[in-house]
Amino acid sequence: MALNKIPSGIKTLDTNINDGFPAGSVILLLEDVGAGAREFVYTSIVNNLNLKADPSYFEMINRKHEKQSHEGEINTTLALPDEIYYISLSRSKEDILNENAYAFHEDFFNTLKEGVNFKELSDIYFRQSIIKNLWLTDKNKNLDFDSNSNKNILEEISDLFEEFAANNIVILDSLTELMLYEGDYLSKNDVIMFLKSLVRISKEWNGLIYLLLNTRILETNIQEIISDTVDGVLTFEWDKKSVKLQRNLCITKFRGLLPQLEQNNIEKFETKITSNDGFEVSNIRKII
């Protein structure tokens, strides 16, 4: 049986999850506002692109990974995404790039700018808004969907996943916006059924899918249903007990990874964000 893993791109995190996430995973990034989920995504993108740019270094990492397999374990191979796609429902490519230009150093920004394929759906997202005329795209701009299409936003997103998800990393920004969307006669149950289908088909695509979701926006039971549906849940939170501003990352759930975390007695990862390196793990809290 051949199994692939794809690096998160966060070195200290990868070290503690046997070098990456299982390929084919749909991962929920559940975030307290400002707790680092977006920075995690940006850093993961940049570091995976840097690994692709240095094949000999990645091959060395892969050989080391294969040697670490213990007797009786099914061997896994590290794989990098062919491409990285960023699907944005409401934000423009320029807005996302400007955010990174302000936050990070030039090399980080340039790698992100040159290596990511952006897909914007703001025109369809705002087409039923009472202020939709403010969101009309420049007529000379190429759309990522047919502007005359009668498809609803879930169908448009599904088409993008079907076309671009195989062997790639795809980020959906954001599930929060999709769950709050009230157009096209869609309900939250429609979105949940879409997620269930996405989780099933993603195993054939063999890439990674990240879904951004803010905490305390949806009803608790809806958030729990979403968490139960996906393969993995990474929770980005503020440490309420710390005397200083401290962000933490907790792997709340992950099919195929939790035994390794339990074996290493890991409770959570303390994290920081720097302009040079982006999202980093600064400390690991273990259960004593």
Here the CATH number for the domain that contains residue 214 is 3.40.50.300
How do strand 169-173 and strand 84-88 relate by DSSP bridges?
parallel
User: Cβ distance 4 to 21 under 8 Å?
Assistant: no
User: Cβ distance 226 to 175 under 8 Å?
Assistant: yes
Q: What is the pLDDT of residue 242?
A: 74
Nearest-angstrom CA–CA distance, 232 and 69: 23
- State the burial class of residue 222 (Cβ atoms within 10 Å of its Cβ: 0-12, 13-18, 19+): middle
Nearest-angstrom CA–CA distance, 82 and 205: 12
Q: What is the pLDDT of residue 132?
A: 58
DSSP class of 141: S
User: Cβ distance 76 to 4 under 8 Å?
Assistant: yes
* Number of separate domains in the chain: 1
Q: What is the pLDDT of residue 111?
A: 98
Task: Give 69's contacts (C-beta < 8 A, 6+ positions apart).
Answer: 75, 76
Q: 265 vs 157, 276, 286, CA distance in Å? A: 38, 30, 5
Q: Where are the alpha helices (DSSP H) in the chain?
A: 11-16, 37-52, 55-67, 93-103, 106-115, 122-125, 153-164, 175-180, 188-205, 220-229, 258-263
Q: What is the pLDDT of residue 147?
A: 55
Closest CA to 122 of 98, 97, 145: 145
Q: What is the pLDDT of residue 67?
A: 82
Segments of the chain with pLDDT less than 50? none
Q: What is the pLDDT of residue 141?
A: 57
| Residue 207 lies in domain | 3-286
